[in-house]
Amino acid sequence: MTTDRLESLMRFHPFTRLNKLLESVQAGGGNTPLALSVGEPQFAPPAMVARLIHEQAPLWGKYPLPTGTEPFRQAVAGWLTRRFRLPDDMVDPARHVMPVTGTREALFHIALSAVPEVGPGEEKPVVLMPNPFYHVYAGAAAAAGAEPYFLNATGENSFLPEIAAIPEAILKRTALAYICSPSNPQGAVAPLSYLCDWLALARRHNFVLASDECYSEIYRGTPPHGALEAARDLGGQNPASLDNLIIFHSLSKRSSGAGMRSGFVAGEARLIQRQAQLINFGGVATPYPILAAATELWQDEEHVQGYRAKYIENFNAAQDALEDIFGEVRAEGGFFLWLDVGDGEAAAQALWQHAAIRVLPGGYMARPDANGMNPGQRYIRVALVLEPAEMSAALKRMAPVLERVVDQQRKAQERAKMV
């Protein structure tokens, strides 16, 4: 029996499902349509970006190397060392860092790199991931011929999958695990001890730990920990070893540069080499003008502080608009609201029909567990990516619609209990 690999990937694509859900719903309310379904920052990128790219325009005529430039790698290694309080010699710019054309591509490639081939009759390797999850994780697992294994991330476990609940038989087959902090969609921030537990598990069972840290610079309180700190702190003969670890960072969120398609991976030298080899065969290396701008961005924190202040302002506006309906809505990190509306699809349809605002049903980011429960089904994800004044107006537009939806769901549940 043959399977259609592309069709198997499309099963995990939430925005295709959202388009189908809303295709017969007219955007209403007499409002200008707004897309708050995608995590695409709408703040203008730093002015230095256009200038630096223009200055390096002659380099558009050169094929870039997958490993990028020495100044870029040094800038990234320096930023990692400062940001995560690492030993000066822990991250070697020549061996442990390379640029990527957006972390989505790199997160996809790591599955192709980490998942081994199996022979006829052998069980598929396993790729662990949180549930709900960024759809690329599951799509990458499917493309690599692995079995996605979903670990529920719910309010009961503070939206951090429980490591102790993973069966030993699954761990023996695991080739790769994706973790994300601050998490998408819930904005949960993992404590350092949790990251240490994951890295220790990866080393004990010899799988690759892929730590997606693309939202690490968007937070409301203490800066989130990163998996490199876990590598720094774990005991053993070489406490600062990067074995079994690869991390992912991006300028899309940190620097409002989604269109630059610029990020980096850092970690074990062997894994970085394999990522570079994949680019040589079927990827895209970052152009030199983009790298020049990215090099400067990783060395500048002022613009990041400005964007972070805007996201905090947006979260405060959400709290003002939605507190009476949901209570506390502000996440620790990232820029999403994760709202329990009772029925995510119904809420998404109502918001589009009555307020012309597009949001993502949480169930489209998750899969039913062994008990048939989809941990995202009750939720919607709302991206707080507009300028604060526009975001505040949009949230006020959403509030009465969501209040009606939540009230309807509550009454429906009460009727069901009476039957």
Q: What is the CATH architecture of 47-299?
A: 3-Layer(aba) Sandwich (3.40)
* DSSP conformation class of 383: E
Q: What are the sequence ranges of the domains in the chain?
A: 5-44+303-413, 47-299
What's the rounded Cα separation, in Å, for the pair 74 and 347? Answer: 47
Contacts of 18 (CB under 8 A, 6+ apart): 37, 348, 358, 360, 361, 364
Per-residue pLDDT of the chain (419 residues; tens, 9 = 90+): 556 766 766 677 899 999 999 999 999 877 899 999 999 999 999 999 999 999 999 999 999 999 999 999 999 999 999 999 999 999 999 999 999 999 999 999 999 999 999 888 889 999 999 999 999 999 999 999 999 999 999 999 999 999 999 999 999 999 999 999 999 999 999 999 999 999 999 999 999 999 999 999 999 999 999 999 999 999 655 666 999 999 999 999 999 999 999 999 999 999 999 999 999 998 899 999 999 999 999 999 999 999 999 999 999 999 999 999 999 999 999 999 999 999 999 999 999 999 999 999 999 999 999 899 999 999 999 999 999 999 999 999 999 999 999 999 888 888 877 76
Nearest alpha-carbon partner for 348 in 374, 383, 324: 383
Letter string b/e over residues 295-334, b meaning 16 or more CB atoms within 10 A of that residue's CB: bbbbeeeebbeebbebbbbbbebbbebbeebbeebbbbbb
What's the rounded Cα separation, in Å, for the pair 101 and 279? Answer: 10
What's the rounded Cα separation, in Å, for the pair 262 and 30? Answer: 38
Q: Virtual CA dihedral for 370, 362, 228, 112, nearest 10 degrees?
A: 70
Chain position carrying tokens 């994300």: 180
Q: How many CB atoms lie within 10 A of CB 200?
A: 17
pTM of the predicted protein model: 0.95
Letter string b/e over residues 128-163, b meaning 16 or more CB atoms within 10 A of that residue's CB: bbbbbbbbbbbbbbbbbebbbbbbbbbeeebbbbeb
Q: Cα separations (Å) of 126 from 55, 144, 159, 177, 338?
A: 46, 10, 21, 8, 28
- The fourth-level CATH superfamily of domain 5-44+303-413 is Aspartate Aminotransferase, domain 1 (3.90.1150.10)
Q: Cα separations (Å) of 350 from 26, 132, 186, 357, 365?
A: 10, 22, 22, 9, 19
- Retrieve residue 19's tokens: 């388009």
